[in-house]
Amino acid sequence: MYNDILDAVVGRLRELFGDEYGICTEPAGQGTSGPCFFVQLQESAEKPMVGPRYFRKTEILIRYQPEETPQTFREMNRAAEILMDGLEYISLADGSLLRGTGRSALPDLERRQLIFRISYNLFVIRARQEETTMETIEIEKGMVK
């Protein structure tokens, strides 16, 4: 499921920004130049609900490295606005639509990059283990003395 969400985010980034922007889901080495996105699963959490249902929270971290220009900070602002609107909904490969919540954008001025966080929350259902039941039971009424 996590890779499906990452793939959907990468696909949506390609739709929003085009092929001229690099998109990486693996740690990059030195020398990576912008404009490019680094997409990773930041944190996932799961909480049991009633029955076989579980609430799963999946936080995605996107780092945007713009090309070095005199307008770098304006470019980060432009990208933040596109990410806020464009990643609100993503479509998984199976056609499921997920809504992103908790969206936040923070410019990292030292590294000259934009940090964007978003959570995709969903319910999952796990198959239960089949339990052995009694075949028959007999109950007698009456008072025991």
- Interatomic CA distance for residues 58 and 41, integer angstroms: 7
Kindly report the pTM of this predicted structure: 0.81
Structure tokens at 82: 């596109």
**Residue given tokens 């995709």 in the structure block:** 120
List domains and CATH numbers for the chain: 2-125 (3.30.2000.10)
Cβ burial, residue 59 (10 Å; 0-12/13-18/19+) = middle
Across the chain, which has 145 residues, the per-10-residue mean pLDDT values are 94 94 79 82 92 93 92 93 96 93 93 95 83 74 70
- Interatomic CA distance for residues 110 and 121, integer angstroms: 31
pLDDT given for residue 144 in this prediction: 66
Q: Which of 39, 46, 28 is nearest to 6 (CA)?
A: 39
